[in-house]
Amino acid sequence: MEVMFVLLLYMNDNLKEWMGHYENDSGQWVEMGMSGCLSMKRTLKRNGWKDTASGKTRFTCEKRSVELKLNKEGKPVVARVIVE
């Protein structure tokens, strides 16, 4: 278990998807951190994503406890967000 910033997608107030790592410009796999999370959220908005006015469907950056696993390429990814 680890505490890190993750980009979370909520739909109808249920957590549906999450992302905690990305591949940077030099091809390295890195943890997002707060700045990376906010940058990804801005990119999504520029590409047409809009949170609903009711807040039922939204992206948010949060510092959460997560469970990590290795993907098939051997890189760490968030397997599960621990709901507190």
- The three-class DSSP label of residue 46 is helix
Write down the pTM of the prediction: 0.86
- The three-class DSSP label of residue 57 is strand
> If you compute the radius of gyration of the chain from its CA atoms, what whole number of angstroms results?
13
Gap between the Cα atoms of 6 and 14, Å rounded: 15
Residue 80 backbone dihedrals phi, psi, to 5 degrees: -160, 140
> pLDDT-derived band of residue 4, with 50, 70 and 90 as boundaries?
very high
> pLDDT-derived band of residue 6, with 50, 70 and 90 as boundaries?
very high
Q: Which residue has the higher pLDDT, 84 or 75?
A: 75
> pLDDT-derived band of residue 13, with 50, 70 and 90 as boundaries?
confident
Structure tokens at 34: 């707060």
